[in-house]
């Protein structure tokens, strides 16, 4: 019969084996593991430092290149928009820091900025769609027509575009008699504000998208509402360009919504890096392209089709009669 002392010796042996295992694991086996971990950490740290140095170098090159372009921006765009009148439209939340640089480069290109129209949050509020519909209907001149499936935003866009835009250069700078009071009505209802004299119609529209893309359930509807206004301005004038800074790795906001709409994308141009000097030059080139009846989507975004419009070929001078070879 197995007595108690045997059980006691067995239990002591088991705990002794466990203790020896713990000691061996924390000494003999732990040293190689620690050394391996330290080696991997050192490699990762060195790789991180290398990548950080590369990023710093690229940023320095980018900054130097953009500064170089910024210094020469007036010369790069000189004469590109001579004879054009440009309306600037700001969506709610548009980056105010871009307002003056954009207006300056458009003016440097030879265009006249007729004024600025800033949409309010109320304009995009889905709960105010009925108010917008009623106002657009009561303000509609006889010459303006809606499609059967026009939304309140389509109707408002048509009415506003009629008051703000023209494709006839002989009428540019002149008010549309039938649209008198339209802007006042929209202002008095708190749907927009006006600076300058945009009632003296423009030929081209430049629309500044929100700096931060809308989020939540109503985001898509708000983006679509702005796209409706943009296409309305485009149809009534010579063209329209939407600008909005978008991270290069993403497609978001009004710019992405417009680019994803095949009908709108075929008519309206977009630029997704107006916060960079070369992007501001591209804004001017895109407006010029619109005036020529073409459209494109430019910048660094994942859904852009090119960095800039294809340069217009310079016309070949025709030799005068009797000129020497």
SS3 198: coil
Residue 71 reports pLDDT greater than 70:
yes
What tens digit of pLDDT does each residue of 210-254 get? 988 777 778 889 999 999 999 999 999 999 999 998 775 566 789
Tell me the three state secondary structure of residue 245.
Answer: coil
Q: Within 10 A of 218 (CB to CB), how many other CB atoms are there?
A: 14
Sign of CA dihedral 16, 18, 24, 27: negative
Alpha-carbon span 20 to 87, nearest angstrom: 84
Burial of residue 33, with CB atoms counted within 10 A of its CB: 0-12 exposed, 13-18 middle, 19 or more buried: exposed
Concatenated DSSP letters for 97-135? GGHHHHHHHHHHTT-EEEEEEEE-HHHH-GGGHHHHHHH
For residue 38, give the 3-state DSSP assignment: helix
State how beta strands 239-243 and 204-208 pair. Answer: parallel
Going from the C-alpha of 181 to that of each of 129, 162, 184, 224, 311, the distances in angstroms are: 20, 12, 5, 26, 41
Task: Report how far residue 112's alpha carbon sits from residue 214's, in angstroms, rounded to the nearest whole number.
Answer: 31
pLDDT band at 322, cuts 50/70/90? Answer: very low
Count of CB atoms situated within 10 Å of the CB of 308:
17
Residue pLDDT, tens place only, 105-150:
999 999 999 999 999 999 999 898 998 999 998 888 878 888 888 9
Q: Three-class SS of residue 254?
A: helix
Could you tell me the strand order of the sheet in which 85-90 lies? 192-196, 112-119, 85-90, 204-208, 239-243, 269-271, 297-298
Average pLDDT (192-207) is 96
More confident residue, 59 or 153: 153
Look at 229 and 311; give whichever has higher pLDDT: 229
Which of residues 310 and 58 earns the better pLDDT score?
310
Strand-pairing partners, residue 116, are: 88, 195
- Does residue 297 carry a pLDDT above 90? yes
């Amino acid at each position: 019969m197995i007595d108690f002392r045997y059980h006691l010796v067995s239990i002591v042996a088991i705990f002794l084996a466990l203790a020896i295992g713990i000691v061996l694991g924390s000494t003999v086996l732990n040293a190689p593991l620690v050394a391996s971990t330290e080696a991997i950490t050192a490699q990762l740290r060195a790789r991180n430092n290398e990548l950080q140095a590369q990023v710093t170098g690229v940023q320095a090159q980018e900054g130097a290149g953009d500064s170089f372009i910024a210094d020469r921006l007036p010369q790069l765009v000189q004469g590109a928009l001579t004879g054009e009148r440009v309306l600037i439209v700001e969506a709610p939340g548009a980056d105010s820091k871009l307002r003056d640089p954009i207006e300056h480069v458009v003016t440097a290109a030879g265009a006249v900025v007729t004024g600025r129209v800033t949409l309010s949050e109320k304009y995009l509020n889905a709960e105010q769609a009925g108010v917008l519909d009623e106002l657009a209907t009561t303000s509609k001149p006889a010459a303006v027509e809606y499609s059967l499936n026009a939304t309140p935003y389509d109707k408002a866009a048509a009415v506003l575009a009629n008051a703000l835009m023209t494709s006839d250069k002989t009428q540019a700078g002149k008010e549309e008699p039938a649209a008198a009071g339209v802007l006042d009505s929209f202002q008095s209802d708190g749907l927009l504000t006006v600076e300058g004299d945009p009632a003296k119609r423009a030929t081209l529209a430049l629309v500044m998208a929100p700096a931060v893309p809308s989020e939540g359930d109503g985001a898509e509807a708000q983006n679509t509402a702005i796209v409706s206004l943009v296409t309305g301005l485009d149809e009534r004038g010579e063209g329209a360009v939407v600008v909005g800074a978008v991270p290069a790795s993403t497609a978001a906001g009004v710019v992405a919504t417009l680019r994803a709409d095949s009908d709108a994308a075929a008519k309206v141009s977009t630029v997704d890096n107006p916060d960079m000097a070369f992007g501001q030059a591209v804004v001017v080139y895109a407006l010029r392209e619109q005036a020529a009846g073409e459209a494109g989507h430019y910048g660094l975004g994942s859904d852009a089709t090119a960095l800039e419009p294809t340069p217009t070929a310079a016309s070949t001078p025709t030799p005068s009669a009797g000129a020497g070879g």
